[in-house]
A and B are shown apart, each in its own frame.
Chain A
Amino acid sequence: MDQARPVMVISGFLLSASLAACGATGDESSEEYPTQAVEYVIPFDPGGESDITARLQQEPLEDVLDTNVNITYQPGAGGALAWSELTRATPDGHTIAGFNLPHIIAQPMASGDVGYETDDFKIVNIFQSTPNLLVVREDSPIETLDEYISAAKEGADAMSIGGTGTYTPNHLGTLLLEREAGIELGYTEFSGTGATVPALLGGHVDSLFTFPTQLETQEGEMRPLAIATEERLPGLEDVPTFQEEGYDVVGGAYRGTMVPKDTPDEVVEQLAAAFDEIHSMPEVQEDFEENSLKMEDYGPEEAAEFIDQREGELEELFNEIGVLE
């Protein structure tokens, strides 16, 4: 006799859900920015490096912008979920999102429809980078990059290498090294940098492409072989670059912030200036250093240029290895 009730509950759901969706769009006027709290979207799980950087920026950014900065998390699909949400956000600078390179270039290029295109956004800045680092276990008989490569040449896939995700810095580093050295490595992908560590230490993969922060955490457990920078990294002066050893492998991850494409240029400039201001504060620089985060300084234009250039390089590499068909 109460047949109708379940139906009512269900439609109640849908109704309230759509109401909530409508409520999200706010009024936008041409008043001074910011007029309300700024939402800073982290496209990954809390606790990771993106989160930590944002947390370091949060307080000083609140002071500079003179408004609340709320960090929210939209993890999923390797960041794509949050970035496709960002294309639908109100373009008034009150919603900004962290982004990673090469993710926002590689995802739409390699996987087709991921809910956004690289040029759906205006880049505010690129403020941090972290280079690829090739490591083996400390007790491994392999001590140099040359030994590593000759071991890999013993047979196709004789050497397994772990890293985070597909078309990520670690994966692209592997592809580049394979091309440059003429070897084939068995790339095993893990869900995050954290998950790769026990795989290496437990002997489930022979080597890792990872980031220098891990080397510091796992003191004495990992042996670095080569780093994918143009010059040796301060603090890791003993580690040769790939280029020194004769292989043109340079790359890593870059982090920055961006807003939807239709955000007014003045607002983007204002945001970029605010970030600039906090990044030049000694205490923020100290915080970054303490967490082994290398600062970068690309404003809106330089960052956009850099991304364009990256896009070209990536397309070339993808064509070569047959990702784009």
Chain B
Amino acid sequence: MLLLIVIGTVSGVAVGAMPGLSATMGLALLVPFSFAMDPTAGLVLLGGFYVGAIYGGAFTAILVNAPGTPSSIATALEGYPMTKQGRSEEAIVGATIGSFVGGVLGVVAMVVVGPLLAGFALNFGPQEYFWVAVFGLTIIVTLAEDSLLKGILGVVFGLVLGTIGLAPVGGDVRFTFGMSELQGGVELIPAMIGFFTIPEVIRLIANRHRDVEVYEQRAEKQSQVKATVIAVFSRPLNLVRSSAIGAVVGALPGAGSSVSNLVAYNEARRASRTPERFGKGEVDGVVASETANNATIGGGLVPTLSLGVPGSPPHAIILGALLLHGLRPGPGLFESSGDLVYTFVTALAICAVVMVPVGLIAGRGLQRAVVVMPTRYLAPGIVVLSMVGAYAIRNSIIDVLLMGLLGVVGYLLRTIGIGPATVVLGLILGPIAEEGLVQGLQSSVGMDMPWTSFFSRPISIVLILACVLSVGWSLRRARRGPKRDEVTSGEDGT
């Protein structure tokens, strides 16, 4: 059993670390193998793989700005600047601890407050999903480092990209310009590789001195493991908060770790005493992101097991595997197959522990390899992996072309100061918001004015307040930020 956990985790880390090879895809490939095993062994293998893959996504996010999975987007935001400063080891250690804590706390949350969480999540209807997405969009105020306008432009571009293809509700064909290949829309992963990775590759090639710089800086430093561990655990609040965010977002079907890592990152930045260090390589940001995405695994199991409704795409595969093994998720699962469920859950927690040595050995090994590798090998390597990853999403060449195209667009956008995270944020949240909006209107057609249902439900009101507070707080911070060294009594606006 332990061997299975180790195999699952290690292979998960390896797949997760490949740009574009997501946890979902790896799991789908693994299901036939698990089918041949007995249910417990099969699930343990899948669970280990899932945990490992989510964690492995952090490596490439940190080292080459290529988030291996959408759950590591925020990791790249802080991790890659750290790499540029020769602090990649610190970032990887931070990510490892975050993943470990998040993984364990997520499972604990699932076991302890699972039923509560499941009930709470049921209160989220279409209207609430809409407001959750809007709340997510308020993150741009934080993400847009220098100019709010550019941040908004980036998000709008992402939202527009998100409208290509079949409408999530209603099924209208939009903006495909007569190309039926575009009906499926812009897939998140090729877009993510395009916006994050390709511009970086272009820059790597254009600036060949990089490796030398990093190498020199690294040589000066000794191992950072101990110092980083102490530093991360000295801010336990960040770990707990990010885990909670991860678990709650995970319990909402349809959101998943691509949302939770960004939300946790935003909250960490907001709560930080030194928010100005974010975006320039702050280890707390990496920790928040990685803690949250691993906590989402446990959180997402809540609806998966208790309702039979997957919390996120990888959970859908776990659900499928359960069904294939003849298990019926749903309210009855805990009674009928309690042993199996608890073995599975315990295995997930053990995986989180196994991740630590795996991460520290493999992660740092990879880090050294990437750091010393000359650009002429590194750049084509990344490009090839990215193309394979993009193609593999749905075996469609259009995704590879889109990735290349969006990479060029991303490079151009970056030269005018629009960051990739804002665009990807719009692309992730746009469809969620649209679906919530249209479904909310559809399900309240019985009311005189259906739109009022968005403002009259208790949780919606709380979420609206959260949006307002989020924007207000961030704007205030942003106004004060630049001046805080000289002037302490800054004027606060809005």
Chain A residues close to B by CB (< 8 Å): 2, 5-6, 9-10, 12-14, 16-17, 20-21, 45-48, 51-52, 55-56, 58, 71-78, 80-81, 84-85, 111-116, 155-160, 162, 165-167, 186-191, 194-195, 197-199, 201-205, 214, 216-221, 290-291
Kindly identify, within residues 304 to 325 of chain B, every residue whose CB is under 8 Å from any CB belonging to chain A: 307-310, 313, 316-321, 323-324
Q: Which are the 10 A-B pairs with shortest beta-carbon distances?
A: A76-B184, A115-B180, A47-B320, A204-B125, A47-B316, A202-B122, A13-B404, A81-B184, A77-B183, A186-B445
Kindly identify, within residues 114 to 138 of chain B, every residue whose CB is under 8 Å from any CB belonging to chain A: 121-126
Contact between A194 and B383, CB atoms less than 8 A apart? no
Contact between A84 and B442, CB atoms less than 8 A apart? no
Q: What residues on A are CB-neighbors of B323 within 8 Å?
A: 52, 291
Contact A218 to B307, CB < 8 A, known contacts A52-B320, A58-B32, A202-B125: yes
Residue among B31, B123, B396 making CB contact with A202, cutoff 8 Å: B123
Kindly identify, within residues 134 to 172 of chain B, every residue whose CB is under 8 Å from any CB belonging to chain A: 165-166, 168-172
Contact between A2 and B205, CB atoms less than 8 A apart? yes
Q: What residues on A are CB-neighbors of B125 within 8 Å?
A: 199, 202-204
Give Cα A156 to B446, complex, Å: 7
Kindly identify, within residues 330 to 352 of chain B, every residue whose CB is under 8 Å from any CB belonging to chain A: 330-332
Q: B493 an interface residue at 8 Å Cβ cutoff?
A: no
Q: B49 an interface residue at 8 Å Cβ cutoff?
A: no
Contact between B183 and A157, CB atoms less than 8 A apart? no
Q: B181 an interface residue at 8 Å Cβ cutoff?
A: yes
Q: A55-B35, A218-B330 are in contact. List 18 more A-B contacts (CB 8 A).
A: A6-B202, A9-B202, A9-B379, A13-B383, A13-B387, A13-B403, A20-B387, A73-B28, A77-B166, A113-B173, A155-B446, A186-B442, A189-B170, A189-B442, A194-B310, A198-B121, A199-B125, A218-B331
Contact between B31 and A55, CB atoms less than 8 A apart? yes
Grouping DSSP codes into helix (H, G, I), strand (E, B) and loop, the B interface class, with mixed when no group exceeds half, is helix
Give Cα A99 to B261, complex, Å: 36
How far is the CB of A75 from the nearest CB of chain B, in Å?
6
How far is the CB of A218 from the nearest CB of chain B, in Å?
6
Contact between A191 and B31, CB atoms less than 8 A apart? no
Residue of B nearest to A161 (CB): B443
Q: What residues on A are CB-neighbors of B185 within 8 Å?
A: 76-77
Residue of A nearest to B309 (CB): A194
Q: B408 an interface residue at 8 Å Cβ cutoff?
A: yes
Q: What residues on B are CB-neighbors of A45 within 8 Å?
A: 313, 316
Give Cα A132 to B113, complex, Å: 35
Contact A10 to B408, CB < 8 A, known contacts A84-B183, A113-B178, A186-B445: yes
How far is the CB of B28 from the nearest CB of chain A, in Å?
4
How far is the CB of B237 from the nearest CB of chain A, in Å?
31
Contact between B394 and A74, CB atoms less than 8 A apart? yes
Give Cα A191 to B438, complex, Å: 12
How far is the CB of A184 from the nearest CB of chain B, in Å?
9
Number of interface residues of B (CB under 8 A): 78
Residue among B122, B330, B407, B435 making CB contact with A191, cutoff 8 Å: B435
Give Cα A6 to B397, complex, Å: 21
Contact between A166 and B170, CB atoms less than 8 A apart? yes
Q: What residues on A are CB-neighbors of B330 within 8 Å?
A: 216-219
Give Cα A116 to B320, complex, Å: 29
Contact between B173 and A114, CB atoms less than 8 A apart? yes
0/1 string, B404-443, CB within 8 A of A gives 1: 1001100100000000000000000000000100010011
Contact between B443 and A188, CB atoms less than 8 A apart? yes
Give Cα A81 to B309, complex, Å: 24
Q: B481 an interface residue at 8 Å Cβ cutoff?
A: no
Contact A6 to B404, CB < 8 A, known contacts A157-B446, A194-B309, A197-B307: no
How far is the CB of A247 from the nearest CB of chain B, in Å?
22
Contact between A220 and B331, CB atoms less than 8 A apart? yes
Give Cα A69 to B201, complex, Å: 37
Contact between B181 and A195, CB atoms less than 8 A apart? no
Contact between A194 and B308, CB atoms less than 8 A apart? yes
Contact between B28 and A111, CB atoms less than 8 A apart? no
Contact between A76 and B165, CB atoms less than 8 A apart? yes
Q: B366 an interface residue at 8 Å Cβ cutoff?
A: no
Give Cα A187 to B169, complex, Å: 11
Give Cα A114 to B181, complex, Å: 9
Q: What residues on B are CB-neighbors of A112 within 8 Å?
A: 173
Q: What residues on A are CB-neighbors of B183 within 8 Å?
A: 76-77, 80-81, 84, 114-115
Give Cα A269 to B172, complex, Å: 36
Q: What residues on B are CB-neighbors of A75 within 8 Å?
A: 184, 394
Contact between B394 and A47, CB atoms less than 8 A apart? no
Q: What residues on B are CB-neighbors of A20 within 8 Å?
A: 387, 391, 397, 400
Contact A46 to B394, CB < 8 A, known contacts A80-B180, A217-B308: no
How far is the CB of B252 from the nearest CB of chain A, in Å?
9
Q: B254 an interface residue at 8 Å Cβ cutoff?
A: yes
Give Cα A197 to B319, complex, Å: 15
Contact A9 to B205, CB < 8 A, known contacts A74-B394, A197-B308, A217-B329: yes
How far is the CB of B233 from the nearest CB of chain A, in Å?
37
Q: B326 an interface residue at 8 Å Cβ cutoff?
A: yes
Contact between B329 and A290, CB atoms less than 8 A apart? no
Give Cα A217 to B323, complex, Å: 10
Give Cα A12 to B32, complex, Å: 35
Q: What residues on A are CB-neighbors of B207 within 8 Å?
A: 2
Most buried by A among B24, B126, B446: B446
Q: What residues on A are CB-neighbors of B403 within 8 Å?
A: 13
Residue among B35, B205, B397 making CB contact with A5, cutoff 8 Å: B205
Give Cα A76 to B168, complex, Å: 10
Q: B298 an interface residue at 8 Å Cβ cutoff?
A: no
How far is the CB of B162 from the nearest CB of chain A, in Å?
14
Contact A187 to B206, CB < 8 A, known contacts A46-B316, A197-B309, A201-B122: no
Give Cα A151 to B169, complex, Å: 26
Residue among A116, A160, A198 making CB contact with B445, cutoff 8 Å: A160
Contact between A9 and B201, CB atoms less than 8 A apart? yes
How far is the CB of B128 from the nearest CB of chain A, in Å?
9
Q: What residues on A are CB-neighbors of B445 within 8 Å?
A: 157, 160, 186
Contact between A115 and B181, CB atoms less than 8 A apart? yes
